[in-house]
Amino acid sequence: MVTTAESAVHKSHQQSRVLIVGNYCHDVLIQKNAVKAVSLGGAASVISNVFNGVSISCNLVSKVGEDFKYPVSYTPIVIPTLKTTVFHSYFDPGLHGNDHQDRILKRVCACDPIRPSDLPDTRFKYGMGVGVGGEILPETLERMIEICDVVFADIQALIRVFDSVDGTVKLVKLEETGFYPLLPRIGVLKASSEEAVFMDVEEVRKWCCVVVTNGKHGCKVYWKDGELGISPFLANQEDPTGAGDSFFGGFVAGLVQGLAVPDAALLGNLFGSLSVEQVGLPKFDTRLLQRVKDEVQRRKMQCLLHERSDGELEFLRPVGHEQFHTFLVAAKLITPCPSCTMEAEQTAVPHYTKQPKLLANPMYEEPIQRVE
């Protein structure tokens, strides 16, 4: 099924409050010169997976080539003359005797960038700029700012550059990019602790909220007038793939449902911890999801009296925040049911080709090797 830019917006979600912008990818994991896994990649795929789990509709703008291999819930724009973006991740486990797997990431094929004209001509409450392969242009992010009340950006969409010879991913300082002048108009900028060194957090926090994730240590929220550490969740790590993207999905899902920033960040930490306990794109236990959704609604009603009337994000830790964390910890103890799948998977989705086995997705928050 080939979809033009004009008709690619998922029709059943025209009234959704969230716009996600970022390309789907094909990810290839290579270890010891052998291909270990091939999977669906791209932050957009991980975030939309979280949204599906908590029953939040969204519009998703993504571009792929006719070689795109996976059925997905949100139809991408297919570019007949190009191939889908492909990343090769080269891992060397335990090279330095630590818990990390050193990674060299290469973009070996790039699909078309997402342009302002590709975005829907409607207004959204929230927008998420979550490119991974350089597909989001400064002018595209600026257009998102114009049509969304609040824009969330992942710093990897802003600071990644690619070697002209072999596509090796490098990171540049945020202030050296064309996105830097847009920071005062962005609501939230998310970065991993490794990516955060490529910006001056103390300067950026004057213009927008900065959320820095730090794996098993949880995350930290910075804003102009303060900062706050958010508690983590214990996890039996199987695959750190997409943990930061799952966090971002849970975080924005919480805000969409009316939570204050600290509570939403707790929800993000929960989904990040659930992600690392599975290999590949996670499947969430339906009983856990229902308990979380019910508690979020209860939490929202509990905090209504403290909700800001101006629509701005609420950064102060609300009453009952620790109890909310305690509840989520208890909810996570539900024994996972392997046969449980999300309701979204029961929805008919477009098939492009025969779906390969979904294996480990090498897109995750481990530090990219810096190549000088």
* pLDDT class of 336 with cuts at 50, 70, 90: low
310 given a catalytic annotation: no
Over residues 46-59, the pLDDT tens digits come to 999 999 999 999 99
* pLDDT class of 37 with cuts at 50, 70, 90: confident
Would you say residue 210 has pLDDT above 90? yes
Would you say residue 101 has pLDDT above 70? no
* Under 8 Å between Cβ of 151 and 129: yes
Would you say residue 13 has pLDDT above 60? no
Residue 39 is predicted with a pLDDT of 86
Residue 14 is predicted with a pLDDT of 41
Residue 158 is predicted with a pLDDT of 98
Spatial distance between the Cα atoms of 272 and 266, rounded to a whole number of angstroms? 10
- Give the predicted TM-score (pTM) of the model: 0.83
* Under 8 Å between Cβ of 293 and 258: no
Q: Is the dihedral of CA 58, 42, 158, 7 positive or negative?
A: negative
Q: What percent of the chain has pLDDT over 70?
A: 79
Residue 16 is predicted with a pLDDT of 63
Mean local confidence (pLDDT), 285-314: 80
Q: Of 184-198, 258-272, 322-336, give the lowest mean pLDDT range.
A: 322-336
* Under 8 Å between Cβ of 297 and 257: yes
Residue 86 is predicted with a pLDDT of 96
* Under 8 Å between Cβ of 129 and 154: yes
- Which domains are assigned to the chain? 11-340 (3.40.1190.20)
Average pLDDT across the chain, whole number: 83
Mean local confidence (pLDDT), 293-322: 80
| Active-site position among 27, 118, 245, 263 | 245
Mean local confidence (pLDDT), 187-210: 97
* Under 8 Å between Cβ of 102 and 126: no
Would you say residue 209 has pLDDT above 60? yes
Q: Of 9-18, 127-136, 318-327, 355-364, give the lowest mean pLDDT range.
A: 355-364
Spatial distance between the Cα atoms of 78 and 124, rounded to a whole number of angstroms? 24
